[in-house]
Amino acid sequence: MSALMAVAIGILFAASLYMMLRRSIVKLVMGLILLSNAANLVIFTSAGLTSGAPPLLDKVTKEAPVGVADPLAQALILTAIVIAFGVLAFSVVLIHRAHEVVQTDDLDQMKDTDQ
Amino acid sequence: MSNLVFLPILIPLLAGAVTLALWRSSRWQKRVSVISTLVYLIASVMLAQTVSEQGHIVLQVGGWQAPFGISLVADFLATIMIVVTAVVAFCAVLYSLVSTPGTHIKFGYFPLLHLLLAGVSGAFLTGDLFNLFVWFEVMLLASFGLLTLGGERAQMEGAIKYVTINLFSSALFLSAIGLLYGSVGTLNMADLAVKLQDVEQQGLVNAIALMFMVSFSIKAGAFPFFFWLPASYHTPIIAVSAVFAGLLTKVGVYALYRMFSLVFTGDIEFTHEILLWVGVLTMLSGVLGAASQFEIRRILSFHIISQIGYMILALAIFTPAAIAGGVFYLFHHIIVKTNLFLIAGLTQMLQGTYELKQMGSLYRQRPWLAALFLIPAMSLAGLPPLSGFFAKFLVIEAGITSQQWIATGVALFVGLLTLYSMIKIWAEAFWKAQPEASGKDISLPLLGVIPVALMAAMTLIIGLYAEPFIQLSQATGEQLLTPATYIQAVLGGQP
């Protein structure tokens, strides 16, 4: 299962980098979305994949049973998703404004600041 | 007493909330901002006093003991950074009172500035890696807002590059955190330092260390990831540029210092050798970029990069003397660089442009402004007896004692080219006659000059009365290279 996840993450990273290297700013934002998802999946996978064992304490002994999922990694991902959501909302607004101001969606036309 | 650690985060956060509530009243936003940054300054000095007595102050947030909760740690390095941040914040807010256009203030300039400060302070004080990521994002989102306020074409183009590269760096940081957590099962920095000593697969740790290095190098603007910095830093209004120039890249440098002195010290020959060459190439590429520019803010932006190189070089040499030099460099540089940007803003108020070709005669018009420029400019170039001389001296001396001949040679050469760039600004903007003088007599606002004079005075003090500052840096260097005390302070009696 982890091997499959690793491949999937690799594909996500590759796809996001490919999208970011395209000239259109819309594709750039799509690349950023894929990138943040790929990073979240890295945390999820590297903390260990467990299925069917929610991190709940035993009713009687008040201790966690052996082999439950690690709740901390999931808390980290939850935080990261929220942050990524905010940042991506900003970047969507940014490309909209940039398109209005610069009148193009071609990144090659946006190099006034590099001269 | 340990609650004191939280104040530098709490005060700007509160100020951000209050200024947000005062959205309609620019006047009250200004008042609250001045008062809150002043309180922040006082709190940071109090923190510094306590830290200088105790060495470390640790706050386990919510009473959750490390390594399970989030620890906030104030050691010498973090405290120095907090104090300098407070100085920069206070000066920048004073300067903003007269230089920031009303439209910017109407659209949330001050709330964003305070949130930026909260993010920066949090990044300096946290002892937890994921928490560091969160503070980075707080800081980044605020900086995105500040960078795009105004919405001019250059700002949009700069912002797209800035946002993209920073989001990429954050994703890399996050993946590295995930891999690190997967391999050792903790994210508390002190606990990481302990657990990584027993890891058998050094190759895996090195790979993760490199991911952190790339991520923080992007934020610090180190070679080869510096291109976003000169493309975006000159686009916003000058007070924002000054704060960015002073603080943001230094957060990246701070993170490098923290991670590569505390956590990733298992294979110094590998990681610090890479850092050494990154430092050398950063110095060179920054200063050569600056030599080709004729716009004040762009010259200064490129010089941020070359100075970052010195700091990374000091970290890479990794002796107590070198780290001491690097720390001295950090706080000297933040003050000098912020000041130079603010002075560039004053010259723009007088002559209406940042292009050196169109400027001139400033020495005749405003001799005291020329003097105020010369202090930080010569300090940046490293002329004695100003603060930059001691910073460069400490780093280069450490380079010679550890026999890094090439790196030391490059550092000396870069110092010379820095002098060239500063003299270029001096000759073009201050010395030569202005090609098309406007003839208008503009008076500079007093509140714009006070912060500049204040920071110039600090540069002079650090230079002329360097002994206590050097001792402080040396104490910091010693403390950073004995991570056992940090671990002891955070984890308590546990091994």
A46: closest CA of chain B, how far (Å): 5
Please tell me the distance from the alpha carbon of residue B420 to that of residue B413, in angstroms, as a whole number.
Answer: 11
Q: Are B43 and B1 in contact (CB under 8 A)?
A: no
* Backbone torsions φ then ψ of A61, nearest 5 degrees: -80, -15
Residue B251: which residues within 8 A CB-CB, separation 6 or more?
A: B120, B123, B124, B136, B139, B219
Distances (CA, A) of A112 to A29, B145, B160, B287: 21, 21, 12, 21
Give the pLDDT mean for B179-205: 90
> How many whole angstroms from its chain centre is CA B2?
25
pLDDT in tens, A14-70: 999 999 999 899 999 999 999 999 999 999 998 888 888 888 888 888 787 777 888
B268 in A contact zone (CB under 8 Å): no
Residue B11: which residues within 8 A CB-CB, separation 6 or more?
A: B36, B39, B40, B43
- Rg of chain B in Å (alpha carbons): 22
Contact A76 B163 (CB under 8 A): no
Q: Are B454 and B335 in contact (CB under 8 A)?
A: no
B445: closest CA of chain A, how far (Å): 30
Give the pLDDT mean for B415-444: 85
Contact B167 A91 (CB under 8 A): yes
pLDDT in tens, B289-311: 999 989 999 999 999 999 999 99
Q: Are B145 and B185 in contact (CB under 8 A)?
A: no
State chain B's mean pLDDT as an integer.
91
Q: Is the peptide bond before B111 cis (omega within 30 degrees of 0)?
A: no
Tokens 């006082």 locate to B42
Q: What is the predicted pLDDT for the residue at B495?
A: 39
Give the pLDDT mean for B3-7: 90
Residue A113: which of B145, B168, B231 has the nearest Cβ?
A: B231
Please tell me the distance from the alpha carbon of residue B129 to that of residue B126, in angstroms, as a whole number.
Answer: 8
Give the pLDDT mean for B224-252: 92
Distances (CA, A) of B382 to B184, B412, B416, B477: 44, 10, 9, 21
B119: closest CA of chain A, how far (Å): 14
Which of chain B's residues have a Cβ under 8 Å away from the Cβ of A45? 178, 182
Q: How many CB atoms lie within 10 A of CB B441?
A: 7
Helix axes B202-220, B268-291, angle to 10 degrees: 20
Give the pLDDT mean for B256-273: 91
B207 in A contact zone (CB under 8 Å): no
Q: What three-state secondary structure class fits B355?
A: strand
Please tell me the distance from the alpha carbon of residue B22 to that of residue B77, in angstroms, as a whole number.
Answer: 35
Domain ranges of chain B: 268-479
Q: Of B113, B88, B81, B83, which Cα lies nearest the Cα of B100? A: B113
Contact B181 A46 (CB under 8 A): yes
Domain ranges of chain A: 2-50+69-109
Residue B465: which residues within 8 A CB-CB, separation 6 or more?
A: none
Q: What is the predicted pLDDT for the residue at B360?
A: 83
| CATH number for the domain whose boundaries are A2-50+69-109 | 1.10.287.3510
Size of interface A-B (CB pairs under 8 A): 109
Q: Of B461, B218, B220, B451, which Cα lies nearest the Cα of B340? A: B451
Rounded to the nearest 5 degrees, what angle is found at the Cα of B453, between the Cα atoms of B443 and B340? 90
Residue A46: which residues within 8 A CB-CB, separation 6 or more?
A: A73, B178, B179, B181, B182, B183
DSSP tag of B382: T
- Rg of chain A in Å (alpha carbons): 20
Give the pLDDT mean for B105-123: 94
Please tell me the distance from the alpha carbon of residue B115 to that of residue B15, in angstroms, as a whole number.
Answer: 8
Contact A112 B153 (CB under 8 A): yes
ipTM of the predicted structure? 0.93
Q: Structure tokens of B63?
A: 């009473």
Please tell me the distance from the alpha carbon of residue B309 to that of residue B287, in angstroms, as a whole number.
Answer: 10
Q: What is the predicted pLDDT for the residue at B166?
A: 94
